[in-house]
């Protein structure tokens, strides 16, 4: 039935999944929650393969209207100096700001000083894909059913924009990469202080999914997020890079498009980057593909000898083994950008904290249904609502900061012992 858009859904997980208790006292587990959250995958039959699904993202529809107010933070860690922009979901407003994405304005000083609230709404921290931002439709389709619902199931949310993205002007030569967890970490800490009663959750898309998994792995059992979702994550960047270069479409369409978008970001921020960075702008302007961009930019910025060294070090596939919160991963097997061969099938079988849901169709951050909605929003929203409102994460025997995990003590392999040290 796949030729009618009826994609097959498969779940990969540990034979001993994480045990959970529902708020009504009944027992369940992480796999059951993920299965219950995942509806049948019924996609637009005219977009019958991953290329058509992915390329359809270039057809821009308006998507749901989400309004943001922006706060620019300065990173507190001297190793990662510079500013980053966080867009907070707010009620609709009439103002406009041409210097920012649509439906986005800056907080006034008075507004932000009084922004700390004591409500108990769950709050979602969102990380977007490569060169994207809070304006992206794929993330707004997840946010809309969470933040616009009325009653006691309404969510709060914010989007952490990667430096230089979403019309944010960078202030130093410290850029972001696939391991750029520092701005996310500071945001989560700030949220914990500012909204002490709000449980925090995370969702990441594409490169943002890779960053989010790295962050959760780095935090381990101290992670302040209660659960997370990752959509279309590239997982193993080195394998994904080789898959892209293997085909004409991968190299000349996807890699070239992503490389061009990153070159544009560099040019937008040339004035600041040219002051003290090690970047060779003449070489950067000559690159065509994403791997060439990463060779010239990420290698020079972070000291990686080759783009392969960067990809291996920044990949989140090993970070998965250090995750200590429920993590639901959603990917399409026909994704032409985040290749199926890079997905962590074996790693998912080794951790009770993760479940991987794969669909046979869907492309990259696409999953277009008839009418233009995107299927991935359904399981993501359902999972987050179940974890926030149906599961008692703080119940005895469930998750808390003192969970002891045998893997940490009984193996010499430490997933977060990376070559590039924090």
Q: What is the largest CA-CA distance in the chain?
A: 63
Could you tell me which of 151, 150, 160 has the C-alpha nearest to residue 124?
A: 160
Extract the tokens encoding 161.
């924009």
Residue 150 main-chain phi, psi, to 5 deg: -95, 155
122 within 8 A of 229, measured Cβ to Cβ: no
Gap between the Cα atoms of 87 and 253, Å rounded: 31
Residue 332 main-chain phi, psi, to 5 deg: -105, 135
The percent helix, strand, coil of the chain (3-state, each to 5) is 35, 15, 45
Gap between the Cα atoms of 94 and 61, Å rounded: 21
Catalytic site residues?
Answer: 206, 335, 364
- Per residue, what are the HEC states of 21-69? EECCCCEEEHHHHHHHHCCCEECCCCCCCHHHHHHHHHCCCCCCCCEEE
What's the chain's length in residues?
Answer: 422
Instruction: Let me know how many helices (H) and strands (E) the chain has, helices first.
Output: 17, 14
State the residue for tokens 């943001």: 68
């Amino acid at each position: 039935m796949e030729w009618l858009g009826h994609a097959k859904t498969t779940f990969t997980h540990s034979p001993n999944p994480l045990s959970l208790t529902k708020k009504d006292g009944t027992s369940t587990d992480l796999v059951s929650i993920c299965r219950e959250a995942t509806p049948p995958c019924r996609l637009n039959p005219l977009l019958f393969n991953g290329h058509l699904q992915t390329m359809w993202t270039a057809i821009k529809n308006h998507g749901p209207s989400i309004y943001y107010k922006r706060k620019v933070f300065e990173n507190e860690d001297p190793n990662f100096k510079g500013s980053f922009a966080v867009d907070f979901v707010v009620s609709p407003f009439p103002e406009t700001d041409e210097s920012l994405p649509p439906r986005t304005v800056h907080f006034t000083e008075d507004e932000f000083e009084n922004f700390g609230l004591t409500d108990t709404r769950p709050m979602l921290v969102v990380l977007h894909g490569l060169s994207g931002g809070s304006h992206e439709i794929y993330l707004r389709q997840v946010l809309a059913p969470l933040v616009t619902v009325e009653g006691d199931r309404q969510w709060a949310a914010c989007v952490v924009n990667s430096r230089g993205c979403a019309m944010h002007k960078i202030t130093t030569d410290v850029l972001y990469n696939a391991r750029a967890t520092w701005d996310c970490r500071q945001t989560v800490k700030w949220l914990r202080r500012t909204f002490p009663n709000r449980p925090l959750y995370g969702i990441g898309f594409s490169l943002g999914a890779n960053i989010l998994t790295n962050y959760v792995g780095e935090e381990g059992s101290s992670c302040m997020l209660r659960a997370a979702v990752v959509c279309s994550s590239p997982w193993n960047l080195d394998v994904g890079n080789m898959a892209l270069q293997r085909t004409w479409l991968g190299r000349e369409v996807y890699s070239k498009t992503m490389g061009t978008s990153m070159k544009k970001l560099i040019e937008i921020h040339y004035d600041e980057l040219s002051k003290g960075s090690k970047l060779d702008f003449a070489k950067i302007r000559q690159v065509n593909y994403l791997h060439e961009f990463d060779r010239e930019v990420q290698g020079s910025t972070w000291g990686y000898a080759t783009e392969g060294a960067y990809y291996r070090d920044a990949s989140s596939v090993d970070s998965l083994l250090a995750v200590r919160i429920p993590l639901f991963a959603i990917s399409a097997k026909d994704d032409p950008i985040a290749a199926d061969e890079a997905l962590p099938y074996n790693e998912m079988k080794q951790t009770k904290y993760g479940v991987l849901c794969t669909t046979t169709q869907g492309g990259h951050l696409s999953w277009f249904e008839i009418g233009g909605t995107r299927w991935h929003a359904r399981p993501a929203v359902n999972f987050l609502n179940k974890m926030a409102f149906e599961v008692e994460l703080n119940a005895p025997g469930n998750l808390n900061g003192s969970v002891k995990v045998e893997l940490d003590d009984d193996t010499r392999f430490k997933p977060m012992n990376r070559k590039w040290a924090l």
